[in-house]
Chain A
Amino acid sequence: MATFYIDDKAFEAEDGENILKACLSLGLDLPYFCWHPEMGSVGACRQCALVQYRDEEDTRGRIVMGCMTPVTDGARFSLQGEAPKEFREHIVESLMLNHPHDCPVCAEGGECHLQDMTVMVGHRDRRYRGKKNTHRNQDLGPLIHHEMNRCITCYRCTRYYQDYAGGRDLAAQAAHDHVYFGRHEDGTLESPFAGNLVEVCPTGVFTDKPLVNDYTRKWDMQSAPSVCNSCAVGCNTLPGERYGKLKRIHNRYNNEVNGYFLCDRGRYGSAYTNDESRPGYAGLRNKDGSYDAIQSSQAIKTVADWCGSDKKVAAIGSPRASLESNYLLRHLVGAENFCNGMADNESQLVGRIQEILRDGAVSTPSIRQVETADAILILGQDVTNTAARMALALRQSVRNLARQMAADMHIPLWQDEAVRNLAQDRLSPLFIIATGATPLDDVAEQTLSLSPAEIARFGEAVTAELNGTSASSELDDQAAALAKRVAEALSAAENPIVVSGTGCQSLDVVNAAASVAHALKQDSRMLSYCLPECNSMGSSLLSNQDASLAELGERATRDDIDCLIVLENDLHRRAQNDQIKALLENAGQVVVLDSNVTATMSTANLVLPTTTYIEAAGTLVSSEGRAQRHYPVYLPTEERQPSWRWLLQLGQFLNRDGFDEWEHFDQVTAACAADITALAKITEASPSADYRDHGLKVPRQSHRYSGRTAMLADISVHEPKQPVDDETPLAYTMEGSNSKDKPGALLPYVWSPGWNSNQSLHKFQSEAGGALSGGTAGIRLIEASGSENIASSKTDPDPLPDGHWQLVPAYHIFGSEELSAQSPAIAELIGIESIQLNSVDADRLGATDGDLLHIESNGQSLQLAAEVNDSIASGCAAYRAGLPGGHWIAPNCGATISKAKPGGDHA
C-alpha cells in the first residue's frame, strides 16, 4: 500500500494503482469518460485531471490525468484546487461544442454519464458560437439505435467492441473533430455482445433500440435483481418495467460471473414476457379443441380431481423452471413419477457432468476465474453460441500472455493501449476442437474440425500425452501433432483450463474433457462444461436418476398415466415428434403450466398460466454450480401465478404431505434444501423475505419514481395503495433502503447522488471494479471432492455404420434457445433452418448451396436446404439446433442423406 495525499489529506491505495481508480474507490468524485474499470486507461478524454506536485514545496504542480498516473508513496495531488477544477470544466465545455443538447428526446436522458459529469464539473454557459457537426446515423440492426451527433468521442465504444469483445465491424473512422464511430455501411452489428454498447457509451450514441421504440426513463422503471434465463451461465441482470411491460434489461454487476457485460441474447431475449398471446387465465379444453377460461380455483379443483389418490400421475419438470417449481412438482407426484424434463441423452450428459464436477478432483471455475486461464483447450463446444458470456471471458484469458509480458516490463496492466501494443497479436494458447468453425477461432492458436467421436479420441490422445503413456491413437498425423502441442501448452501453463459441454451430445466428449483436465498436474487446473439451459444443473442435482422421458412414454402406452403434469416445458424440444405425440396422446389428462404458448400447451387438457421468470422468484443453478435467485420485477397481471404457487395450491388442495406447512416461497426453498443434499446451500443464494436493509425493505422503484402518483391519473386521481410483497425482501415502492452494504444479491438498481447513470456502480463496490460491498451474489453448490480417478474414457473409432452421416447440432446464439427466440428483436436475427456440409461432402451428394437434401435419421424424414460450410468436419452434417418450429433430431443415430428430387421424392 502507498500513502498519498489529495488536497493535503492522506489516503491509502495499492502502490501502482492509477489515481482515478484510487479516487473512485475512496469515494472521491473525479469525473471521467474514457476510462472503464474493465477496460483500463488510455487517456483520451482528459477529463480526470488532477494537479500533481513534485513535493511539499511545489505549489504550482502540473496537470496530470488521473487514469494515466500511478499512485506512489508520498505522491501529492490536488483534486479540488482551482487549477484542476478549471481544467475539468474546460474539458466538458470542449466536449459539449458539438453535442446537440437534445436530452429531452434522448433515451439516455436521466441516466447519462455526460449529464452527470457536466453537472459535476459545474459547466453551464457555453461560449462556443460556431456551428455544430452533423453526422448521418446508421441502421445498426434491431438491437442498437445509433445517434452519432451526441458523440463525445471517448473511444469507449470501439475499445469495447473491437479490443475487448473482438468485434470487427465497428470502428473509429475519419479524424480530428469528424471522428465517426460506426460501420462501413448500414447493417446489423455482427458481434453477439453489441448490446453492451448501450451501457458502455457514456451518452446517447448507442441506445437500446427496443427501449427507444417503447420508451421509459430510468427513474420511471421498476426493477429488481434477476438472473438471466437464456443459458446456463447465469448472468445477473436488472430488468426494468413500467405499466406491466418489460422495457429493457441492464447488466447487474457480479464480479464472479458476468462482471460488466451481458450477451445480446440475455439483454434482448426476455421480451417474450410481453407477448400478448400469453395465456392470462386457466383454460380448460372444450369439445371443439379450443379453451374456455375458468376460475383459478376451479382449475385447481379440476387438476386435483385428475390427480386424486386413486390416479396414476406422472410429471415432467423443466431445466428452464426454478428449483422451487421443480421441487414441488417432484414432491407432489413422487420421484419415481417425475422426469426432470431434459431430453434423455441430455439428462444423462448433465448427470455425468455434475458427477465429474462433484466427485472429481478438478474444480469448475467461475466466469471470472475463466479469465485467469493462460492455456485453453475447448473440446467439442461452440462456446460463443451456447454460453456466450464465457466466450467473452475466454477472449480476455487469451490476453494473459500480454499481461505477463507487460508485468515483466513493469508496465501497469491498466495501461490498456501499452499492454496491447507491447503484445500485439501474441496470445495465450487456445485450441478449439469442434465439429465446425466457431466465433472464437480468430483468437485460437489452432483449430481442428472433427466428428464428435474423433473429438473424444483427440481428447484421449491429449490425455495420453499428458500422462506420458504412448499415444496409440488412430489420429492422423496432423491431429496427433496438435494433441502433442496441446498437451505441451496445457502443461506449461499456470492456470490451464479445459472447456467442453453438452454441445456434441456425446458422453465420450464429456468424459474425454474430464480425463484431460484430470491428467493435468497443476493445482489451479480448471474444467468447465457448458450446459444447455438456465437450470440444467439445478434440475440434474434435484433429479438425476428419476424417470426418463422414454420410461414415461412406455408407461403412457401401457395406460399407466392418468394425468401428466408438464411444467414450463415444450416437450417437442426434448424428443422426436412421434415419441412426444404418443406420450401426450396416451397420457390420460395433460396439464401444462407455462407462461407462453407452446406446441405442448396446445395439446393440453388444462392450461395453468404462469409467470415468466421476470415476474417470479426462483432459484437457478448455473453451469458453474452457482445457485442464484431472481426476484419478481413486477406483479403478474390477470390470473398468472408462479408455477410454484400453482403447485403449492394443488398440493394443499390434495392434502399432500408437507404442503400444509408451506405458504411462502422461502419455505419451499428451505424444504428443497432440507430434502436434497446437493441443494442444501440454496437458501444462502440470497437473503430471505425477512431481510431488512437498515430496518427497511429494498425498494424496486427509484427515489425519483416521479410518475407513481400520476401514471394512473387518467383513471383515478387517487393513488392506489402499493402492493405488498410478502415473498421477498423487496418492496413495490420508492420507500426503503438501497444501501451500499446490503447483500449483492439484493441490488435492485444502481443510483447514487450525482451519479444517475450505471457508472454509479462504483458507489456499491468495495473498490472500483471490485466485488459488491455487500458480497457477491449467489452461492456455489459444487466443489470438487477430490477423486483423481473420476475420468477415463476410450472411444470407439467410427461408431456409425458405413454410408451413414453423423448429424451434429449447430447452435446459434439467436434461435437455438426457446424463449429468447420469441422476443421480437431476437426473432429478426434467427436466420433459417439448413443443413451444413463441407464442399467435399456436398460434392459427394452432388449438392450445392440451397439444394434441398433428404435426410433419414432414426425413422424421421426431413428435407432441409444445403449450406456449404467448409469448416464442418468431414462425414458430419450440421443442423440448426433448437430453431422455433424446427426439428428435434435424435443424437448419435447417424443418418442417410441424399439430394431431394424436384417434387420432393428423394433419390
Chain B
Amino acid sequence: MTNLPLTANINDNRDAVDMAAYEANGGYQAMKKAVLEMSPADCLQTVKDSGLRGRGGAGFPTGMKWSFVPMENVSEGHKYLICNADEMEPGTFKDRLLMECDPHQLIEGMIISAWTLQADVAYIFIRDEYHLATRLLQEAIDDCHAKGYLGKGILGSDFNLEMYVHSSAGRYICGEETALISSLEGKRANPRAKPPFPQISGLWGRPTIVNNVETLCNITHILRYGPEWFKGLGLGEDAGTKLFGVSGRVKNPGCWELPMGTTVRELIEVHAGGMEDGYKLRGFLPGGASTDFLVEEHLDLAMDYDVIAKAGSRLGTGTMIILDDKTCVVGMVKNLVEFFAQESCGFCTPCRDGLPWTAQVLDDIQLGKGRPSDMQTLTDQARFIGAIGNTHCALAPGAMEPVTSALKYFADDFQAYLGGQAAAAADTQDGGT
C-alpha cells in the first residue's frame, strides 16, 4: 500500500510504464476484482464512500455524478464514458504527467468506471499537442485488447467495452464537458445548456459521463485499496491525494502528488523551493488561470475544495500560478483575459463580447490611456460576466475570477496607471505565464 498511489509507478526519468511493468506492480487487479467479483452497484457505492471529488476543476463528488446515470429501464443503445484529457488550463500540466508515464493506470480506471456505469464505449478526448500521450495510450489500449481487457466479453464476462483515443482540434472550450461532447459529435465546440445533463442525454443523445484523467486514475486505487484507505490519505476534509503544481517565479516549478489538504505554504516553500531570489510573493491563483487570486494571508490554508472556496477562490485543477512583486498585475490579468477571450466559443454575448471588451479596457489602462471610469467598467464586467448563470457556460465567469480578485487585492496597481503614474508602477512587462 502506498500513500502516493497516482505516481507510485513513475520514476524520476518519467519512463512510461508498460503493460508488463504495470501488471507486475499489481496493475489490473482492481479491474479484475471489479468486473469479476463486484456488481456495478457495489462499485458505485465504493466510489461514493471514498469521497472522491472531480479533479478537473469543479470538484463535484464523482460518485454522486455517476449516480445520475440511469441503470435500469435504459432505452436500447450505447452508454458512454469519456475521459477529459483536453488539458488546456493555463498553468496546468498534471494530466500530461499521468498519461505520459502511466497510461495503463488511466485505462484500468476507465474500465472499472465503464463497468460501474455499464458503459460500452469509452473515449479519451485528448489535447492534440499531447502527441506522446496519444501514442502511449493507443499502445496501451492495443495491449489491453490483446489481453482481453478490452473488447467483447472482457475477462470472459459478458461485459463489452470499446475504447478510442480522440485527438481534440485544440480549443480550450473543448475541456468543458458539454462542449467536448459537441466537438466529439463533429459539431462546433459549443457548450450545451443544462438540463438535460450529459448523464441523461450526452454524446449522441445517450447517457454519458465525462471525467477528468486524474479522477479516473484514482478509481483504480479506490477499488484496489478501498474507500477507507482513500479517505485516510487526505490531511483535512477532502479525501485522497492530488497532483499539485506550481509555476511562476519559484525556484523549483513543477508538479507533485501530495495529500489533499497540504498547505499552500508547504507547496510553495517546500516543494517549489520558495520564491526565486529577488522576487517576493504578492499573490497566487490557486487552481489555474480561471481561479481568483489569493494573497499572503492565505498561505497557511489547506488545499481542500471547501477551504479554498471559503477564502473566495477555487481549488480548480490544483496547479497554482504565482504572482511576484515585479510582474505587472494589470498586464498579467490582461494576458489571461485575452487568452479566455480568444478561447470563447462565441455563443453567448457576455463571454464573446464582454471578454474582449474587458481585455481592451485593461490594455488601455496598462498603456496609460485608461480613464478613472474604467474601474467602474471593470467592476460592471465582473458583475455581469462573472456570475454563473449569466453566461451559457462557466468559461467567462472563470475568466473573470482573476479580474475580480485583482480589483479586490491590487486595486492600487490599477489606480497607479489611472493616476498617470504608469512609469512609477513596478514593472510594465507583461505578466502571465
A98:B353 contact, CB within 8 angstroms: yes
Of the candidates B171, B357, B392, the one whose C-beta lies within 8 Å of that of A94 is: B357
Verify if B192 is at the interface (C-beta below 8 Å from A): yes
A288 nearest CB across to chain B (Å) = 67
Verify if B26 is at the interface (C-beta below 8 Å from A): no
Q: Do A177 and B353 form a contact, CB below 8 Å, given A90-B380, A409-B200?
A: yes
B-side interface size class = 35 or more
Q: Mark interface residues in B191-228 (1 if CB within 8 Å of A CB, else 0).
A: 01101100011001100000000000000000000000
A46:B350 contact, CB within 8 angstroms: yes
A821 nearest CB across to chain B (Å) = 38
A175:B171 contact, CB within 8 angstroms: yes
Chain A, Cβ-Cβ closest to B370: A129
Residues of A near B196 (CB, < 8 A) are 409, 411, 415, 418, 422
Tell me which residues from 347 to 393 in chain B have a Cβ below 8 Å from any Cβ of chain A: 347-350, 352-357, 360, 364, 373, 377, 380, 384, 387, 389-392
Q: Mark interface residues in A162-203 (1 if CB within 8 Å of B CB, else 0).
A: 000000000010111111000000000000000000000000
Residue of A64, A128, A423 contacting most chain B CB atoms (<10 Å): A128
Residues of A near B342 (CB, < 8 A) are 176
B356:A97 contact, CB within 8 angstroms: yes
B349:A95 contact, CB within 8 angstroms: yes
Residues of B near A152 (CB, < 8 A) are 349
How long is the Cα–Cα vector from A422 to B377 in the complex, in angstroms? Answer: 40
Verify if A601 is at the interface (C-beta below 8 Å from B): no
Residues of A near B185 (CB, < 8 A) are 424
Verify if A59 is at the interface (C-beta below 8 Å from B): no
Of the candidates B346, B348, B357, the one whose C-beta lies within 8 Å of that of A128 is: B357
B354:A418 contact, CB within 8 angstroms: no
Residues of B near A175 (CB, < 8 A) are 171, 188, 344-346
B350:A422 contact, CB within 8 angstroms: no
Q: Do A424 and B200 form a contact, CB below 8 Å, given A46-B350, A62-B389?
A: no
B341 nearest CB across to chain A (Å) = 6
B391:A417 contact, CB within 8 angstroms: no
How long is the Cα–Cα vector from A2 to B390 in the complex, in angstroms? Answer: 25
Residues of A near B257 (CB, < 8 A) are none
Verify if B18 is at the interface (C-beta below 8 Å from A): no
How long is the Cα–Cα vector from A684 to B269 in the complex, in angstroms? Answer: 88
Q: Do A422 and B356 form a contact, CB below 8 Å, given A62-B389, A177-B344?
A: no
Residues of B near A62 (CB, < 8 A) are 387, 389
Residues of A near B343 (CB, < 8 A) are 176
Verify if A68 is at the interface (C-beta below 8 Å from B): yes
A421:B205 contact, CB within 8 angstroms: yes
Verify if A153 is at the interface (C-beta below 8 Å from B): yes
Residues of A near B373 (CB, < 8 A) are 127
Verify if A42 is at the interface (C-beta below 8 Å from B): yes
A418:B341 contact, CB within 8 angstroms: no
Residues of B near A42 (CB, < 8 A) are 193
Chain B, Cβ-Cβ closest to A83: B383
A179:B352 contact, CB within 8 angstroms: yes
B377:A127 contact, CB within 8 angstroms: yes
Verify if A879 is at the interface (C-beta below 8 Å from B): no
Residues of A near B193 (CB, < 8 A) are 42-43, 68, 415, 417-418
Residues of A near B348 (CB, < 8 A) are 43-46
A155:B356 contact, CB within 8 angstroms: no
Residue of B344, B364, B389 contacting most chain A CB atoms (<10 Å): B389
How long is the Cα–Cα vector from A804 to B392 in the complex, in angstroms? Answer: 63
B346:A63 contact, CB within 8 angstroms: no
A210 nearest CB across to chain B (Å) = 32
A418:B357 contact, CB within 8 angstroms: no
How long is the Cα–Cα vector from A175 to B193 in the complex, in angstroms? Answer: 18
Residues of B near A223 (CB, < 8 A) are none
A700 nearest CB across to chain B (Å) = 38
Residues of B near A43 (CB, < 8 A) are 193, 348, 392
B201:A418 contact, CB within 8 angstroms: yes
Verify if A130 is at the interface (C-beta below 8 Å from B): yes
Residues of B near A415 (CB, < 8 A) are 193, 196
Verify if A363 is at the interface (C-beta below 8 Å from B): no
A129:B360 contact, CB within 8 angstroms: yes
Q: Mark interface residues in B382-410 (1 if CB within 8 Å of A CB, else 0).
A: 00100101111000000000000000000
Verify if A892 is at the interface (C-beta below 8 Å from B): no
Verify if A91 is at the interface (C-beta below 8 Å from B): yes
B346:A177 contact, CB within 8 angstroms: yes
B349:A129 contact, CB within 8 angstroms: no
B340 nearest CB across to chain A (Å) = 9
How long is the Cα–Cα vector from A109 to B373 in the complex, in angstroms? Answer: 32
How long is the Cα–Cα vector from A86 to B195 in the complex, in angstroms? Answer: 26
Q: Mark interface residues in A119-142 (1 if CB within 8 Å of B CB, else 0).
A: 000000001111000000000000
B356:A176 contact, CB within 8 angstroms: yes
How long is the Cα–Cα vector from A706 to B389 in the complex, in angstroms? Answer: 44
B98 nearest CB across to chain A (Å) = 29
Verify if A118 is at the interface (C-beta below 8 Å from B): no
How long is the Cα–Cα vector from A97 to B357 in the complex, in angstroms? Answer: 8
Of the candidates A87, A177, A405, A422, the one whose C-beta lies within 8 Å of that of B384 is: A87
Verify if A345 is at the interface (C-beta below 8 Å from B): no
Residues of A near B201 (CB, < 8 A) are 409, 411, 418, 421-422
Residue of A98, A172, A421 contacting most chain B CB atoms (<10 Å): A421
Residues of B near A98 (CB, < 8 A) are 353
Residues of A near B344 (CB, < 8 A) are 175-177
Chain B, Cβ-Cβ closest to A47: B349
B204:A424 contact, CB within 8 angstroms: yes
How long is the Cα–Cα vector from A351 to B346 in the complex, in angstroms? Answer: 55
B178 nearest CB across to chain A (Å) = 9
Q: Mark interface residues in A30-73 (1 if CB within 8 Å of B CB, else 0).
A: 00000000000011111101000000000000111000100000
Could you list which residues of chain B lie within 8 angstroms of chain A, going by C-beta atoms? Answer: 171, 185, 188, 192-193, 195-196, 200-201, 204-205, 341-350, 352-357, 360, 364, 373, 377, 380, 384, 387, 389-392
Known: A175-B171, A177-B341, A179-B346. 19 other contacts (CB 8 A): A44-B348, A46-B350, A47-B349, A63-B387, A68-B193, A87-B390, A90-B380, A98-B353, A127-B373, A175-B345, A176-B343, A176-B355, A418-B192, A418-B193, A418-B195, A421-B201, A422-B201, A424-B204, A424-B205
Could you list which residues of chain A lie within 8 angstroms of chain B, going by C-beta atoms? Answer: 42-47, 49, 62-64, 68, 86-87, 90-91, 94-95, 97-98, 127-130, 152-153, 155, 172, 174-179, 405, 409, 411, 415, 417-418, 421-424, 426
29 contacts between A and B (CB under 8 A): A44-B347, A46-B349, A63-B387, A87-B384, A94-B353, A127-B373, A127-B377, A128-B357, A129-B364, A130-B360, A172-B188, A174-B346, A175-B171, A175-B188, A176-B343, A176-B344, A176-B352, A176-B355, A176-B356, A177-B341, A178-B346, A179-B346, A409-B196, A409-B201, A415-B193, A417-B192, A418-B192, A418-B196, A421-B201
Of all A-B residue pairs in the complex, the 6 with the closest CB atoms, nearest first, are A130-B360, A94-B353, A179-B346, A422-B205, A176-B344, A422-B201
